[in-house]
Amino acid sequence: MITQFRLFEKLEKVKLNFTWIDEKGYEFKFKNITVYKDINYVPMIGISQVIRQYIKQKWNVPFQISTLAYSGGDSVTIYLSPVNIDKKLYNEIKSELISIFQNGHFDGSTDSYEYKDNKFTLTFNNKEYVIGARFLFVKYTPKEDTKDWNKYIKWKEINNATEDYNL
């Protein structure tokens, strides 16, 4: 039996460039986004490329990103450090990224995932590509065991920060 992931391994990937204009008229240019050639599916690497380029173009703040793909879906985690940005900007970034790039939410009362109608899509050669993850997490700490994590620990000590920033 061929699993979904094994099937995708055999498909050819290509790099595409997209332009997207948001509701305020700001133009975003996405370059070298990985997609599958013959189907309109974007692998997690392509989704993280779009999110990475979006953050750089919109806010130009330091961040880290990681992705996971698993049998029940996929997730993206973005790490923003309180060393580099204040809480107000963090909340703005978190709210906007989740509203754009999270494809829906889990409804515990029905034990099902509810997809939203207004998914973020990019079009190329009349093919529509959905860019987003089932779950998107934005944390107010750097990724553990990185140089930024070590700076964050020192920053907390210097500033006597007792707040739990890992939200």
Separation of alpha carbons 163 and 20, rounded Å: 38
Averaged pLDDT of the chain: 88
Residues whose CB is less than 8 angstroms from the CB of residue 29 and which lie 6 or more positions away in sequence, other chains included: 17, 18, 19, 53, 57
The mean-pLDDT minimum among 48-52, 93-97, 163-167 falls in 163-167
Nearest C-alpha neighbor of 50 from the set 67, 38, 32:
32
For residue 117, the model assigns a pLDDT of 86
Mean pLDDT calculated for residue range 39-60 = 93
Q: Which token pair is 5?
A: 């992931």
Q: Across the strands, what pairs with 22?
A: none
**Can you give the pLDDT at residue 92?**
97
How many other CB atoms are found less than 10 A from the CB of residue 63? 21
> In terms of DSSP bridges, do strands 104-107 and 135-139 run parallel, antiparallel, or are they unpaired?
unpaired
Task: State the residue for tokens 């700001």.
Answer: 26
> Residues 140-150: what's their mean pLDDT?
90
Question: What is the C-alpha separation between 160 and 16, in angstroms, rounded?
Answer: 47
76, with CB counted inside 10 A (0-12, 13-18, 19+), is: buried
Predicted TM-score (pTM) of this structure: 0.87
Give residue 36's pLDDT band: very low, low, confident or very high (50, 70, 90).
confident
Please report which confidence band the pLDDT of residue 101 belongs to, taking 50, 70 and 90 as the band edges: very high
The reported pLDDT for the residue numbered 60 is 96
